[in-house]
Amino acid sequence: MCSTHDTDATVPAAAGAADRFDAAVARIHFNGDGLVPAIAQDAATGEVLMMAWMNEAAVRETLATRRGVYWSRSRKGLWRKGESSGQMQHLKAFRIDCDGDTVLLLVNQQGVACHTGRRSCFFDEVNPETGDITTIMTPEIDPETLYGRRTD
């Protein structure tokens, strides 16, 4: 487990960040594309909010800034959660699983986590007996309000 509670706020994110987080990065087994699955979970409620991908730069920036930063496969660049929508994630803890092939971010989510305007990206539930899919969560905010355009 990697703790994020002792970050020195006087040290700029770029200065010394490589040295400070080398041990954590060394524990993570990035896949052939240089990515690791990252689960974001509400630190207070335990609700799973979203899954995204992180590369080494996203891991280091997340730890240094205590803000959720991911790798966007579609944009082929870093995605700082909330930079266009204002729906930021404030990191409370950063955990690495036993195999080092998945990370868990415990966050305080500002607003909604999903681009559809829902609190969580996991809003469709499958009934294992019937196979029926039920949407269990409605949007809290119109995506057009978040992004100035439709996202679905």
Q: Which residues are annotated as a binding site?
A: 97-99, 101, 114, 121
The angle, 0 to 180 degrees and rounded to 10, between the axes of the packed helices 56-65 and 17-27 is 120
Q: What gap in Å lies between CA 42 and CA 46, rounded to an integer?
A: 5
Diameter over CA atoms, the chain:
56
Where is the binding site for Mg(2+), in residues?
97, 99, 101
Where is the binding site for Zn(2+), in residues?
98, 114, 121
Listed in sequence order, the DSSP H helices in 43-148 are 56-65, 143-147
